[in-house]
Amino acid sequence: MIALEKRPQPSRLWRAATPLLAVALTMLAGGVMFAALGADPVEAIRVIFWDPLFDPDFAAYSRPQLLVKAGPLILIAIGLAIGFRSGVWNIGAEGQYIMGAICGAGAALALYPAETRAILPLAVLAGALGGWAWGMIPALLKVRFGTNEILVSLMLVYVAESILASVSSGLLQNPEGMGFPGSRNLAQWDAAANRELIAGTGMHWGVLTAFVAVIAAYVLMSRHILGFQLRLSGEAPRAARFAGVVPGRVVVICFAISGALAGMAGFFEVAGPAGQISIDFGSFYGFTAIIVAFLGRLHPVGILLAGLLMALTYIGGELAQLMLGLPAAAIQLFQGMLLFFLLATDVFVNYRLRLGRREAA
Amino acid sequence: MTRQAEQVLSLEGLTKAYPGVLACDDISFSIGRGEIHALLGENGAGKSTLVKMIYGLVAPDSGRMTLEGRPFAPPEPRAARAAGVAMVFQHFSLFDALSVAENIALGMEEAPPPRRLAARIREVSELYGLPLDPARTVGTLSAGERQRVEIVRCLLQEPRLLIMDEPTSVLTPQEVEILFETLRRLAQDGTAILYISHKLEEIRALCDSATILRRGQVVATCTPAETTAREMAEMMVGASFAAVERAPRATGEVVLEARGLSAPAPGAFGTPLRDISFSLRAGEVLGLGGVAGNGQDELLAALAGERPSPRGMLFLDGQDIGRLGPQTRRAQGLATAPEERLGHAAAPEMSLTENGLLTAAQSRGLLRRGFIDWPGARRFAEAVISRFDVRTPGPQAAARALSGGNLQKFVIGREIAQRPRVLAVNQPTWGVDAAAAAAIRQALLDMAAQGAAILVISQDLDELFEVADRFGALVGGRLSEIRPMAELSLERVGLMMGGAHDMEVAHVG
C-alpha cells in the first residue's frame, strides 16, 4: 500500500526538483500523446525542444523568437506572481493585456503621423494605464463589495475581447486600410515602433522591460517592507492585519502592478511583433503567463527561466505543427500537462511517499 | 466478579508514531467501573493521540485495548460509539440554527421520533442535573449549556466509558461545580470516566486516580487527592520550576483608558463590544476574565487597532488613538499579543526572523527608507530566542515548526523585547506547559515592576489570581465593575463572570 506522509518541514530539494521533474514527466506523457497521434514521439520532442535553437535551417528565424515570445510572458507573469503570493488572484491578465494594447496604440495613433521621440514612451505609459485601469475594476469591486476577483477579472477578459473586436473595425480602424479591419501598422511608423534593439536577437523594449521587472520584483519581494507585507497577506491574512496591513490596499496594489505590467506587455506586442490592433490580436499570453508564474515557483528568477521554457514550447509547437502536422490543440494540451504535472509533483514538497503495508490496527 | 470484569477499559502497550515523533510510547493503564480517571500531561505529551486511538480516530501501531474484557480495536468512531465509548470534545460540534433536540438527533445513529427523543432528553437531563429545554435553539445557549447538549447526547447512548476532553475550559466556576456533580453521579451509576485536563486543582477535587503522560510515556500514576498540585505539575514537566514572584510595585499615571468602548460584532459569530470602560495605570496589571466568546478577541482587536474605534473611546496618555492603525499605536508604545498564535500573532510558514519583523520593524529601526535590515531583524529574533529560552534550531526556523509553548514564548517575548509602555495580551499562556507559563507570567510581572502597564485577558482564573492587581469580567461584550483582586474569592469571580445568571436561565427548561 502506498501512503502519503506529511513532512515535518517542507523539502528544499523537492522545491527545486519539482519543475525539472514536471518537465520530464510532460515530455514522457506528451510523447505518449504524440505517438497516439501518429507522430514519432522522440522526433516530436526534439522538434519542440531542440530544433528551434539548434536546427541549422530554423534556428536563425526561431532563436530571436524565443525572446519575443518570452518577453510578454515574463512581464505578465512577474505581475501575476506578486499577486498570487499575496493571495490576490488576478486571472484576467489577458484582458488587461488587450486593454493595454488598445490604450497604448490609441494614444499613439491619436498623434499620427507626428514624428517625435516622445510618442513611444507616452504610448507605453498609456498602455500601462490601460492595463491598470482594467485591473482596477475587479480590485475595487472586491474591496467595495467583496466580489470574487477571480470571476470578475476572468469575465472582463471577454469584455476586453469584445472591445478589441469593436475598435479594430471602428475607432482605431486604419482609414487607409481599404475597409479591412485593423489599425494602422505601428511597427512601420518610426516614432511608435517597438524595434528590435540588437539585430538578430529578438531583444526589444518589452523584453528589456521584462528583465528590469524581474530584478525590481526580486528586490521588492525580498528586501522591501511592502513586499514583506504582501507576502504576509498571502501567508497569513490575519497576521497581516495584526501587523497593520490593510487588506483592501493589498488587493489594489497587486492589481495595479499586475494590470500595469500586462498593459505594457500588450502595447509592446502591438507596436512590435504584432504591428497592429486587429480582431485576432489576443494571443493567450495572459493565460499562459499564469502557468509561467507557477512553473517559476512565483519567484522572479524562476519566472524568467519558466518564461523562456514556455516560449520554447510555443515556438517548438509551431514548428511541430509545420513539420509533423500535429494539431495546434495537441500543443496546448502539452503546455497544460506542464502545469498539471507541476501541481501534481508539488505534493512532494510537503509530503513524502511511504511504501509498505499499512500498519496493523 | 473477577477483577478483570471490573475493568471497563484497559490499555496494553499502546504505541503510535508520527514522522519524527513517538506520540504514544508503550502506554498501559486501565479504568475501572465507576472510576473517574484523570489523564494528565502537557501539550504534546500524547493525550490527544491516546484518546483518538480509544475513540477510533487513529489506529495504534501496536498494543492492545480491551473494553469490558473483550478485545477492542475500533476502526472508526462509529464502532467505538457502538461499543459504548462516548466522547465530549473540547470544541463543540453543534449547529447554532437548530434546536437542542435536532442537534442531538443529528448525532445519533438511529434517532427516535422527535416527540420520544424530546422526552428522553428531558428525562436524562433531569436525572443527571443538567436542565435542558429540547426545543431551545442552540444559538441562544451559553457555552455551559452547549456543553450540556454534548453531554446529554453522549448519555443517551448509555456509554460504558465517557471521555471528557478539557471540559472546563469554557465554564464558569459555578458551572464547573454543576458538571462535577453530574460526573460524580454518572460514576456512581457505574460509568467509567476518562477526564483529560491540565487543571490540577480540578483533578484533585474530582478524580479517583490519575495517569501522567510526558513525551508519550506514562511517567507516573497517583491518587490526586493525596498528591499536591505542585507535585503533579512537577511530574508533568519532569523538573521543578520556580514559582512566580510578585515584587511590590508602585502604580503611576493612567496610560491606557477606554471610555464606553463599543463596536458592532465582526461577522455573524462575533461578539459586539458594549460600553467597555477601564483605566490602566503604569506599573499595574489589570486582569480581564470571562468565558470564551464573550468579547475577548474583539476587545484585543480594538486595542491593537485591527479594527478602528470611533473617536472618544480609546486614549493612550490622554490622546485619542481610536482611529490610529496598529503600526502607529505600536510606535506610541501600545503593544498587543492576540490569542491565536499561528496565523494571527505569527505567520506559520514564515521564519522567526520574519515573524520578529512583523511587529518590530519600526520600533527596532529595522527599516531604511522601507528597505529591510535583514541582519538586524535576525539579531532581534536571536535576542528574543535567547532571552525567553525559545527552543528552536534558530531564527530561520518556520513558526509552525515550533511547539505551541515555544512559539507563545517567542510571540510574547517579541512584544516584551520592544519595551512597550502598555502591553495587552489575550490568553498569554494558553496551551503552554507549566514551566513556560510560569516564565511568561514572571516576564509580565517584571515588566509591570519596571513601570509598564499590563492588560491580561485570560480564561484561566488561576492565572489572573497569580498576576492581576485588579479584576474585571467580560460577559457578552460588556465589562463588569473592576475590583481589586485581593478582595475577590473564586465564587465572587464566578458570579461576576455571569455564572449566577446562567443558572437561572438553565432552570427554566
Paired residues of B66 in beta bridges? B10, B71
pLDDT of residue B391: 83
Band of pLDDT at residue B5, cut at 50, 70 and 90: very low
Give the percent of chain B with pLDDT over 90: 46
| C-beta of residue B237 within 8 angstroms of C-beta of residue B66 | no
- Does residue B201 have a pLDDT over 60? yes
Residue predicted with more confidence, B501 or B121 = B121
Percentage, residues of chain A above pLDDT 70 = 97
With 60 as the cut, is the pLDDT of residue B204 above it? Answer: yes
Find how far residue A202's CA is from the centre of its chain. Answer: 18
Residue B166 has pLDDT above 70, yes or no: yes
Check CB contact of B83 with chain A, cutoff 8 Å.
Answer: no
Whether the per-residue pLDDT at B509 is higher than 60: the answer is no
CA distances to A316, B34, B399, B421, B468 from B253, in Å: 75, 57, 37, 12, 18
The confidence band for B277, taking pLDDT boundaries of 50, 70 and 90, is very high
- Is the pLDDT at B500 greater than 60, yes or no? no
Beta-ladder partners of A278: none
CB within 8 Å: B349 and A235: yes
Average pLDDT of B256-267? 91
pLDDT tops 80 at residue B326: yes
Q: What is residue B11's three-state secondary structure? A: strand
Cβ atoms of residues A345 and A22 within 8 Å: yes
| Long-range contacts, stretch B4-7, CB < 8 angstroms, 24+ apart | B4/B69, B5/B68, B5/B69, B6/B32, B6/B33, B7/B31, B7/B32, B7/B33, B7/B66, B7/B68, B7/B69
- Chain B hits for A221, CB-CB cut-off 8 Å, are none
Report long-range pairs for B484-490 (Cβ below 8 Å, ≥24 apart): B485/B287, B490/B173, B490/B461
Mean pLDDT over B451-480 rounds to 91
CA dist A237 → A85, A137, A231, A233, A242 (Å): 12, 22, 9, 4, 9
Phi-psi region of B419 (alpha: psi -120 to 50; beta: other; left: phi over 0): left
| CATH class label, A38-326 | mainly alpha
- Label residue A356 by pLDDT band (50, 70, 90): low
Residue B378, H or E segment: helix B374-387
- Residue B240 pLDDT level (bands cut at 50, 70, 90): low
Confidence of residue A126 (pLDDT cuts 50, 70, 90): very high
The answer on pLDDT for B434 being more than 80 is: no
pLDDT in tens, A185-240: 988 888 888 888 888 888 899 999 999 999 999 999 999 999 999 999 999 999 99
A69 touches chain B (CB under 8 A): no
Please tell me the number of Cα atoms within 13 Å of A177 on its side-chain side. 17
What per-residue confidence (pLDDT) applies to B321?
95
pLDDT at position B447 is 93
**Contact call for residues B472 and B482 (beta carbons, < 8 A):** yes
Asked whether the beta carbons of residue B372 and residue A224 sit closer than 8 angstroms, the reply is: yes
Give the one of A225, A242, A244 whose C-beta lies nearest to B344's C-beta: A242
| Tens digits of residue pLDDT in B331-382 | 999 999 998 888 999 999 899 999 999 999 988 889 999 999 999 999 999 9
Q: What CA–CA distance (Å, rounded) separates A12 from B398?
A: 13
Instruction: Give pTM, 2 decimals.
Output: 0.79
Q: One-letter amino acid identity for A262?
A: A
Question: What pLDDT score was predicted for residue A194?
Answer: 86
pLDDT exceeds 60 at position B508: no
Entry field: residues in chain A = 361
Residue ranges and CATH numbers for the domains of chain B are 7-237 (3.40.50.300), 254-508 (3.40.50.300)
Q: What band does B21 get if pLDDT is binned at 50, 70 and 90? A: confident
- Mean residue pLDDT of chain B comes to 87
Contact B67, B161 (CB under 8 A): yes
Q: Is the pLDDT of residue A170 over 70?
A: yes
Q: Calculate mean pLDDT across residues B418-431.
A: 91
Which residue, B151, B404, B147, is CA-closest to B293?
A: B147
Q: φ and ψ at B144, to 5 degrees?
A: -60, -40
- DSSP for B13-47, please give it: EEEEEETTEEEEEEEEEEEETT-EEEEEE-TTSSH
Helix (H) or strand (E) holding B192: strand B192-197
- For testing contact with chain A, the best of B339, B350, B362, B378 (most A CBs within 10 A): B350
pLDDT band of A328, cuts 50, 70, 90: confident
The pLDDT-based confidence of A8 (bands split at 50, 70, 90) is low
Highest mean pLDDT pick, A153-162, B402-411, B462-471:
A153-162
Structural element, H or E, at residue B277: strand B273-281
The residues, any chain, with a CB within 8 Å of residue A306's CB and separated by 6 or more, are: A19, A77, A291, A292, A293, A295, A296
- For residue B370, list chain A residues with Cβ-Cβ distance below 8 A: 224-226
Q: How far is CA B136 from the centre of its chain?
A: 27
Widest pairwise Cα distance in chain A: 82
Cell output for A284: 493567450
For the cut 80, the answer to whether the pLDDT of residue B96 exceeds it is yes
d(CA A218, CA A72): 18
The answer to whether residues A84 and A264 touch, using CB atoms and an 8 Å cutoff, is no
How far is the C-alpha of A81 from the C-alpha of A76, rounded, in Å?
9
What is the pLDDT, as a whole number, of residue B32? 93
What CA–CA distance (Å, rounded) separates B414 from A45? 55
Q: Which of A39-48, B134-143, B495-504 has the highest mean pLDDT?
A: A39-48
B499/B414: higher pLDDT: B414
pLDDT of residue B501: 44
- For the segment B80-102, the average pLDDT, to the nearest whole number, is 87
User: Is the model more confident about B256 or about B250?
Assistant: B256
Q: Is the pLDDT of residue B136 over 80?
A: yes
pLDDT of B32-44, one tens digit each?
Answer: 999 999 998 877 7
Q: Tell if the CB–CB gap between B358 and A232 is shorter than 8 Å.
A: yes
- The alpha carbon of residue A103 is apart from the nearest alpha carbon of chain B, in Å, by 33
What is the rounded average pLDDT for all residues in chain A? Answer: 90
Percent of chain B at pLDDT exceeding 70? 95
Q: In chain A, which residues have their Cβ closer than 8 Å to the Cβ of B327? A: 243-244
Vertex A180, ends A174 and A186: CA angle to 5°? 35
Q: Is the pLDDT of residue B499 over 50?
A: no
The alpha helices in chain A, defined as continuous H runs, are 12-36, 41-49, 51-54, 59-85, 93-110, 119-145, 149-168, 205-223, 225-235, 237-242, 247-271, 285-295, 300-324, 328-345, 347-350
Which residues in chain A have Cβ-Cβ distances shorter than 8 Å to B349?
235-236
For residue B253 the three cell numbers come to 499615571
Given a cut of 60, whether residue A357 has pLDDT beyond it is no
Cα distances (angstroms) measured from residue B456 to each of A38, B344, B358, B438, B467: 73, 18, 22, 14, 9
Give the pLDDT score at A100: 97
User: Residue B190 pLDDT > 50, yes or no?
Assistant: yes
Asked whether the beta carbons of B290 and B474 are under 8 A apart, the reply is: yes
Amino acid at B179: L
- pLDDT at position B461 over 70: yes
pLDDT of B333 reads: 94
Residues 299-338 of B with CB under 8 A from A: 304-306, 325-328, 330, 336, 338
- What is the CB neighbour count within 10 angstroms for residue A322? 11
Min mean pLDDT across A30-34, A112-116, A233-237, B425-429 is at: A112-116
Domain range annotation of chain A: 38-326
The size of chain B, in residues, is 509
Element (H, E) at B194: strand B192-197
Euclidean distance between CA atoms A67 and A268, whole angstroms:
13
Q: Is B462's pLDDT higher than 50?
A: yes
> Is the pLDDT confidence value at A78 over 90?
yes
pLDDT in the model for residue A292: 92
**Does B340 contact chain A (CB < 8 Å)?**
yes
